[in-house]
Each structure stands twice: as structure tokens, then as C-alpha cells.
Amino acid sequence: MFALLKRKNKRNAKIHFSDEQLKNFKELKRRLCNPPVLHLPDFKQPMHLRTDASKFAVGGVLFQVVDGVERPIAYTSRKMKSAELNYPTQQQELLAIVHALAAFRIYCLDKPPIIETDHNSLEGLFTQKMANRRLARWYDILAEYQPVFSYLPGAKNGIADALSRRPDLQPETKFFHDLSVTSYDDTSFSLAISEVSGDSELISRIKKSYKKDRGIQAILAAIKKRKSNSKPKRERQQHKKYRCYSEANGLLWYQTPVDDAQRIVVPNDVKLRQTIISECHDTNYGDHPGAECTYLKLARHWYWSKMLKSIQKFIADCEPCRRNKPRLTKPPGLLEPLSIPDERWRSISMDFITDLPRTKRDVDSIWVVVDRLTKRCHFVPTTKNVNAEGVARLFIDNIWKLHGMPANIVSDRDRKFVSAFWQHVFKSIGTMLSMTVAHRAQGDGQTERMNRTLEGYLRCFVGPLQDDWDVHLANAEFAANSTVNSSTKLAPFEADLGYIPLNPLQLASEQLESVPTSRRAAEFHERQAAILLRCREALAQAQERMRDVYDQNRVEQVFEVCDKVYLSTQHLDPKHSGLPNSTKFGPKWIGPYSVVRKIHNHAYELNIQAGNKLHPVFNTASLKPYKEPTRLSRPSDVILADGSIGQIVKALRGKRTRKRRTQ
């Protein structure tokens, strides 16, 4: 229409309008002055919804077909959220549909809309298995509209595609994840090829490897044929996928129109690719970055097929990364609760609260003892430097005289309980002492929780000098045993004694009932048996609830005997582990060590060297599997017991005997 009018803009052109030019001029004015308006919806006719999703946004158009012409009713588009950018392609396409249905809800509720999409797999959407809760929510939304899916080739989905690629919605950050394009012209390769020195050893290796790579040879052949203008049309289409490649200075280059960077194509040579990745990742200026950072650094200058996947495989096999990088996945070890006791005070747990302000009675610690079934507790003041004999005397004076000897005691690896005296005392009377794994407070979570409760109580009632906390221990013990426990749903006094002792407030309002003694005794025995059963059932339910919550953020990790593992240095004392004095720059993991014995699924005994003063049993959260390296890397330094760097003994060349000793 404008072509005929454009001729009048030429210099020295005579202004004379023919009938056809005058008609085009009037039509052009009419279109400029009367922009097209949206079509009013006809709710008797079906609605058509055309959607699409790009890498950063979704878009859709609602229209109706009137006399064979598509009449748009409304448009919509929005930018994806940060989490939505990580959705798979199918879910991003489905996100566009859900968004468009929500935007055009009033138009699509009357009749099932016809959804046209260029993603063919969505046609059988309702026959597919739900993969997660997000899809389940989207299925519920789609079920309300009962849509009919229709496949539309991508070339015909121009409007929705344009809405999903609005420039104002496009993020400013550029990524190199998708380096292929669907269409471009030859002007994309008009930039000059940067000069590369042919004397470089790496460049020479690349050029030699070109001759052995059949894929590279096919691309170079296609480039030569592309320079010839006499090739047939079929051959041009066959080599269209190679048009993003060019050849200069004896090297093959890869470039796309989305950015100006040109990358050297690396042939299919595993050692050569590992050399390039190692130079970027393992060197002092490489910093051992992660897979994505390494990929972004290499993608500026190098290119090969499935580049990110090969980088991930290389870094997964990096020994320094395994030793020095923290674990970023879910911590291993599912919840495995202790067995529920059968009777009261048959199994107890104990712990110490130390380093408290010293009181006038010359005590600075609290010994906490809790019955694992009824949750009844005792708080005994003591000193931090009490020895094993002193703890045994405290046990006899405060626990034995009230409840007898328990069959099982749960404690941490305190020096008082590890001592030979304490072990001998309980072994002689037939009591089993169960100790938790080192640095694993969760193993005795019941006592740890009681410690926090006691500290909170004392914090509210101690004086300004904080030297009278031992005076409040009796009231704290009575309050803790009178409060309903969240696990048993009973007060510890009621679960243990069958009743809650009166406090001054209850004593003032207590009305004594005249109940026969025989009847009262029978009811007491029945109540005690019912309370015992109720406690065990409530504890079992509480353990199941804790297991469900705890296991949500945990993964199972099981080792077998002779498996090799790394050991975390998070809780290791440098003096005992042979590490340098400061662990700030020390390795995160040491080893490998072999599993000698499997205590249970969460505790393993390792073959720790005799020079390290460490208990050999560790929780699975402090371990991670060792993987034999498949590529050559610089061996880690050997740290001796005095902190100096030693050498690895490769072989014994000989021996001799001096003073009846073999050297």
C-alpha cells in the first residue's frame, strides 16, 4: 500500500496521483486515524486461547473466529518469578495456560475454551501421572474450565510468542545455557576473527585433534560448501545447522547472533577437554568454583557439545573440592528414636549443666536426671570438677533411694561416665550404660530439652548477682514435674505417682471427699495401670510425629563394613585429630577411613589411627562416602601428629635389626 506512495518522495518526482495511489492514500489515512479495536466477545461462540512461554515470561491471547477471521478479545503477559524460571519446559507452558485462564476467567467459564499451544505433550495432560503438588493444584484449576487442547505449530503461534518475549520483561543478565538459535542470516558472522597465536601448545593440540574428530571434519566440509554459491537448495538446507560455525586461522569457531563472543570449538578429546577445565578450575587463579561458575567462565572462549555435563562430571571427581567444600545437600541420617521403656524408672537419661555462677554453697553445676517414660526429673546441685566416684554418690543419694536401680541409662560421652570406675559400678549391678555418639546432642534430646527449660526458669527468678540459683532448684523441679508434658499429655507427677501433689493454691480450695479406703486403693491400682499404658501410647505417637517432621529435611545414608568414608572436621579438636592449630583454613573432610563396624544405621566405627585421641564411633551426619578418583590430581598433604607436613611412603626398600629391634 505504501510502496506506490513512496515513489513520490524521490527527488524531482512529479506529484500526480493516479486513482490507485489516491485510494491507497485515503486508506492509509483511515488506518492511521482509526486504530483497530478489540472484538466484543460473543458468548454463544467458543473462545480460543493461544498461549506460549519463553525463558523469562509467559503470554496469551484470547480470540474468536468470526467469518473465518481471528478477532482478538484480550491480551496478557507477565514476567516469571525466580522459582518459575527453574520449571521444566512443559510446566512453563502449563504455567502460561493457568495464568491466561486466571486473567480471562469471566470469558472462559461459560463454555470449555479451546487452548492452542505449540507444546504437543499437553494434549494428553489429564492422562499423565501427577509428579508434584504444584501440578495437582494446576489440575484442579484446569478441571474447572474443562479445556480442549489443540496443537498449533510454533510458526503459527506468533502473537503469543511475541507477548512472551516482550523486551521490557526480559532480564538484564545474560546466560549461556542455550547457545542455539532457530534462524539467523549470514551477517551474523561479519565480525573479525580474533588473532590466535599458532605457537601455543594447547592450540596445537586442538588443531591436531580436529583431524581425528569426524564431527569436526563434517562441519569444516559444510563450511567450505557454504562458501560456494553453486550448491543446490537441498544441500543448503542439510547444512543449515552448521551455519553458526566458521573457520579462521586453522581453528573452528562458534558464534550466535545473541552475543558478539566467538568461541573456539574443542574437538571430542576427553584429555584435551579435561586440560581446559583443569586450567580454569584447579589452578591457583581458578579458585575451584562450582560447575555453573566454571561453565560460565569457559563458555566465554570455548565451546563443545554437552559442555555443562562434562564440567559437572569433572568437578564431581575433584579431590580438593571433596575435602574442602562443605556439604550443600540435605544432611544425612533419618530419625531413629530410642525404644520406649516398659516400666517407670527402668530407663533414665542424665546430663550436666556446667559453668554456672558459683553460689554461696560452693556449687556451679546441675546434674539433671529424667525418667524416659514418665518424664519426671530431678535437679541435683553439684560442682563441675566432680569425679566419677562423686557422681556415683549423687546417684545413690538422690536416685537409688527413691526409684531403685534402672536397667538402662542414656548419657553423653562425659569423662565422668567414660571413666573405668563408673563403667565397673554399673556393670557389676547389671545396668547397661548407653552413651550417645560424640558431638551428637540429638541422641539425648529429652535431657537437652529439659536443660533449656530449667535454664529458662532460673533466668526468671535468680537475683542480680546470680549466686542464688541453687535455692530455686526445688521449686523448679516441682514446677517441671507438675506441668503437662507435650509427649505424654500428662504431668510427670501424675504419670509416675498417679496424682499431682498439692501446691498452696490447690490446698486452699481442696475439698476432701469421704471415699472408703478399700475403694480408693482399688481405683489407685487401676489408674496406675491405665496411666502406664497411656504414657507408652502417647510416646509412640509423639515419636511418629517427630519422625515425620525430622525426616522432611534429611536423607538416608547407609554404609557397610569395609566402605571408605570421609570424616567431617567440624567437631574435631585440632590437638587430637592431627590438624593444624587453626581449623579455619583446614580441610572440611579428612580420610578416607574404612568402616570397621556398623553399630546401627546412624552410627559407625572407623579405623581411626592409634595416634588420634578420638572415639572411633561417629554419627552418619559426620560422614560422607568416598569415591575413588578417576583422573590424576595433586595428592593432598599428609598432616603429622605435630601439625607438620609429612611425605607419603611409597615402598619399603629394606630393613635391618639393631639391638634386637627391626628398623
3-class SS at 213? coil
For the residues 191-219, what does the mean pLDDT come to? 72
431, pLDDT greater than 70 = no
Instruction: Evaluate whether residue 401 is within a structural domain.
Output: yes
* pLDDT of the residue at 186: 42
Phi-psi region of 189 (alpha: psi -120 to 50; beta: other; left: phi over 0): alpha
Q: What pLDDT, on the 0 to 100 scale, is given for residue 192? A: 35
DSSP state string for 389-431: HHHHHHHIIIIIHHH---SEEEE---HHHHSHHHHHHHHHTT-
Say how many domains are in the chain: 5
Q: State how beta strands 657-658 and 408-411 pair.
A: unpaired
pLDDT, one tens digit per residue, over 13-38 is 565 667 777 787 788 777 767 666 78
- Residue 427 pLDDT more than 70? no
Q: Which domain does 26 fall in, by range?
A: 2-33
Q: Are residues 366 and 491 in the same domain?
A: yes
Q: 341 with 372: CB under 8 angstroms? A: yes
Burial of residue 77 (CB within 10 Å: 0-12, 13-18, 19+) is buried
pLDDT of residue 110: 85
> Does a structural domain hold residue 133?
yes
Q: Tell whether 217 and 289 lie within a shared domain.
A: yes
Give residue-wise pLDDT tens across range 392-421: 888 888 988 899 888 888 887 666 666 665
Main-chain phi, psi angles of 433, to 5 degrees:
-100, 110
For residues 217 and 127, membership in a common domain is answered with no
Residue where one domain finishes, among candidates 264, 293, 316? 316
Q: Are residues 486 and 578 in the same domain?
A: no
pLDDT at 131: 63
Tell me the percentage of the chain whose pLDDT exceeds 70: 75
pLDDT tens readout for residues 625-659: 888 776 655 555 555 555 566 676 777 777 778 77
Task: Say if CB 638 and CB 650 are below 8 A apart.
Answer: no
Tens digit of each residue's pLDDT (9 = 90 or more) over 293-321: 899 889 888 999 899 999 999 988 888 88
Query: Could you give phi then psi for residue 44, rounded to 5 degrees?
Result: -85, -20
Do residues 636 and 350 lie in contact, with contact meaning Cβ atoms separated by under 8 Å?
A: no
Q: Is residue 326 part of a domain?
A: no
Do 149 and 61 lie in a common domain? yes
Q: What is the CATH number of the domain that holds 583?
A: 2.30.30
Is 308 found in the same domain as 239?
A: yes
Q: How far apart are CA 464 and CA 448, in angstroms?
A: 26
Query: Among 143, 169, 195, where does a domain finish?
Result: 169
Reply yes or no on whether the pLDDT at 139 is more than 90: no
Out of 5-9, 94-98, 275-279, which region has the weakest mean confidence (pLDDT)?
5-9
Whether residues 10 and 83 share a domain: the answer is no
**Mean pLDDT calculated for residue range 489-496:** 89
Based on its alpha-carbon atoms, the radius of gyration of the chain, rounded to whole angstroms, reads 39
Task: Return the CATH number at 100.
Answer: 3.30.420.10
The torsion angles phi and psi of 192, rounded to 5 degrees, stand at -75, 140
Q: What is the pLDDT of residue 172?
A: 60
* Average pLDDT, integer, range 166-184: 55
Would 321 be classed as within a structural domain?
no
Residues 104 and 197 in one domain: no
Distance CA 434, CA 500 (A): 31
Specify the pLDDT at position 96.
93
For the chain, the average pLDDT equals 78
Asked if 81 and 27 sit in the same domain, the reply is no
Range with the largest mean pLDDT of 165-169, 181-185, 501-505, 632-636: 165-169
Q: Is residue 509 part of a domain?
A: no
Q: Residue 538 domain-assigned?
A: no
Instruction: Name the band, by pLDDT with cuts 50, 70 and 90, for residue 541.
Output: confident
Does 21 lie in the same domain as 55? no
> Are 159 and 192 members of one domain?
no
Domain assignment present for residue 536? The answer is no
Compute the average pLDDT of residues 97-105.
93
> What CATH number did the domain enclosing 275 receive?
1.10.340.70
316, 338, 363: which is the final residue of a domain?
316
Question: How many Å apart are CA 26 and CA 28, to the nearest integer?
Answer: 5
What's the predicted TM-score (pTM) here?
Answer: 0.50
Note whether residue 236 is domain-resident.
Answer: yes
CA-based angle 268:272:277, to the nearest 5? 110
Q: Do 309 and 424 share a domain, yes or no? A: no
100 has a pLDDT exceeding 90: yes
Specify the pLDDT at position 191: 36
The string of pLDDT tens digits covering residues 243-273 is 788 888 888 888 876 666 788 999 999 989 9
